[in-house]
């Protein structure tokens, strides 16, 4: 809250030809400098009438003070609907990925604002949130099914992010969600997270006659890529001589329009060493493609295509169904079973490495080459 002070004062600017004082008015005011936190004093001069000075003091000075002090909108008066606009501007300014921003907007508009839009942010209580959670438990999707535990968890996380943002930057005293018993689950119950090597090999045999999908699944399983990273790959990203993939982008399709965005995290930008067997397979595959130029995507398929092929393959071979992202977990699990250290695994798949900065990633290059060599031994033994 600003604590600026102001006073209208009379002052003499000179005398006329008869020696009479020429009187004007000024507004003296002070404010807190947002950088030094010290009080600054200044004034606005030149008002010939008292009412002009008073009008400026009352109508224009408060806006000037807010600008000088860098004061944020006051959370005490804002509704959730008003705060959401500010929040989305803030996160977009933080270079939020377009897909992340669109997901946030969708959840906020469809699941949060219908209940909280007209409530003042500072008046939202734990009881309000628990009542809102009950409406979510009754809600259904287009197919008539209730919202999944993981989706409920995602919705609650978004409200939590909104309120934490208000606490961190807009002086909301406390996030009321800390008292709430939350619904939903981060991980679906009983849902398999990954395949063993044997399960993957059983599955991949069913799609071997469909090259584009066979090689796509090969890269996902043996390299641990995210699906968006796979779909973003071009010939420029494959170094056949040094047996590496350069992961630099993620591919998304939103409302029918394709986007190349940054990787999910800073650590996602990385070099992945390939088993030589996979290098040979990719060489054969890309040689058989019609590729316009080196920036053409080498896997021109959609995410839904990948899911459909996986469903069909699992049904045909009888292997349990996992998510496409589960192939990434399968790769990590395989490396862990091979005795690869956590730090090397994190470097390979682009995870944040706890306690390790980017300045110290170069020692892992030798280890990652060794990982590729060991994976190649597995592939050759199949």
Structural domain includes residue 55: yes
Structural domain includes residue 189: no
Is residue 57 within 8 Å of residue 8, measured between CB atoms?
yes
20 and 146 part of one domain: no
227 and 259 part of one domain: yes
- Rg (the chain; Cα; Å): 30
Q: Would you write out the chain's pLDDT as a tens digit for each of its 382 residues? A: 456 788 999 888 777 777 788 889 999 998 887 767 788 888 898 898 999 999 999 888 887 887 777 655 678 888 999 999 889 888 875 555 677 778 889 999 999 999 999 999 999 999 999 999 999 999 998 888 999 898 999 999 999 999 999 998 888 889 999 999 888 877 665 566 899 999 999 999 999 999 999 999 999 999 999 999 999 999 999 999 999 999 998 888 766 777 777 777 777 889 999 999 999 999 999 998 877 788 889 999 999 999 999 999 999 999 999 999 999 999 999 999 999 999 899 989 988 654 443 434 455 678 889 999 999 999 998 8
Number of domains comprising the chain: 3
118 and 64 part of one domain: no
Contacts of 118 (CB under 8 A, 6+ apart): 79, 80, 81
| Cα(367)–Cα(382) distance, integer angstroms | 23
Can you give the pLDDT at residue 237? 94
Can you give the pLDDT at residue 255? 67
Q: What is the pTM of this model?
A: 0.64
If we measure between CA atoms, which residue out of 255, 258, 235, 231 comes closest to residue 245?
235
203 and 330 part of one domain: yes
Structural domain includes residue 190: no
306 and 374 part of one domain: yes
113 and 33 part of one domain: no
60 and 93 part of one domain: no
Structural domain includes residue 192: no
| Cα(256)–Cα(261) distance, integer angstroms | 15
Domain containing residue 124: 80-179
Structural domain includes residue 91: yes
The CATH number of whichever domain residue 174 belongs to comes to 1.10.150.130
Structural domain includes residue 312: yes
Q: Which of 24, 42, 69 lies at the terminal end of a domain, its last residue?
A: 69
208 and 316 part of one domain: yes
Structural domain includes residue 187: no
211 and 292 part of one domain: yes
Q: Rounded to the nearest 5 degrees, what angle is found at the Cα of 331, between the Cα atoms of 329 and 334? A: 110
345 and 287 part of one domain: yes
Q: Encoding tokens for residue 71?
A: 């004061």
Q: Which of 50, 69, 88 lies at the terminal end of a domain, its last residue?
A: 69
84 and 18 part of one domain: no
255 and 170 part of one domain: no
User: What are the distances in angstroms from CA 244 to CA 211, 271, 275, 368?
Assistant: 21, 6, 9, 11
If we measure between CA atoms, which residue out of 231, 141, 136, 153 comes closest to residue 188?
153
Q: Which of 124, 144, 179 lies at the terminal end of a domain, its last residue?
A: 179
Structural domain includes residue 256: yes
Is residue 359 within 8 Å of residue 261, measured between CB atoms?
no
């Amino acid at each position: 809250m600003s604590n600026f002070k102001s006073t209208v004062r009379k002052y003499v600017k000179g005398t006329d030809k008869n020696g009479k004082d020429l009187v004007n008015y000024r507004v003296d005011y002070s404010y807190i400098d947002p950088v030094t936190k010290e009080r600054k004093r200044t004034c606005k001069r030149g008002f010939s009438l008292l009412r002009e000075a008073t009008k400026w003091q009352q109508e224009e000075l408060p806006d000037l003070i807010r600008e000088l002090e860098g004061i944020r909108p006051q959370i005490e008066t804002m509704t959730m609907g008003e705060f959401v606009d500010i929040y989305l501007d803030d996160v977009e300014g933080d270079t939020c990925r377009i897909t992340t921003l669109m997901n946030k907007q969708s959840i906020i508009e469809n699941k949060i604002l219908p209940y909280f839009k007209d409530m003042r942010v500072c008046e939202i209580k734990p009881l309000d949130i628990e009542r809102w959670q009950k409406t979510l438990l009754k809600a259904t999707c287009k197919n008539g099914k209730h919202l999944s535990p993981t989706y409920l968890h995602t919705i609650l996380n978004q409200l939590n992010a909104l309120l934490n943002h208000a606490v961190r930057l807009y002086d909301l005293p406390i996030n009321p969600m800390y008292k709430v018993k939350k619904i939903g689950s981060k991980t679906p119950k009983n849902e398999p997270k990954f395949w063993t090597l044997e399960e993957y090999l059983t599955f991949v045999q069913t799609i071997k006659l469909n090259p584009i999908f066979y090689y796509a699944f090969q890269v996902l399983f043996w390299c641990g890529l995210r699906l968006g990273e796979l779909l973003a790959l071009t010939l420029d990203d494959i170094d056949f001589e040094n047996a590496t993939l350069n992961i630099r982008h993620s591919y998304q399709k939103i409302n029918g329009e394709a986007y190349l965005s940054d990787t999910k995290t800073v650590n996602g930008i990385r070099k992945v060493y390939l088993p030589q067997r996979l290098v040979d397979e990719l060489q054969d595959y890309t040689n058989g493609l019609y590729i316009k130029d080196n920036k053409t995507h080498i896997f021109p398929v959609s995410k839904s295509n990948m899911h459909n092929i996986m469903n069909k393959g699992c049904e045909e071979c009888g292997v349990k169904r996992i998510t496409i992202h589960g192939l990434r977990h399968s790769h990590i699990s395989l490396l862990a079973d091979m005795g690869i250290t956590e730090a090397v695994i994190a470097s390979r798949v682009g995870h944040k490495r706890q306690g390790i900065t980017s300045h110290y990633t170069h020692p892992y290059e030798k280890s990652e080459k060794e990982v590729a060599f060991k994976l190649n031994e597995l592939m050759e033994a199949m």
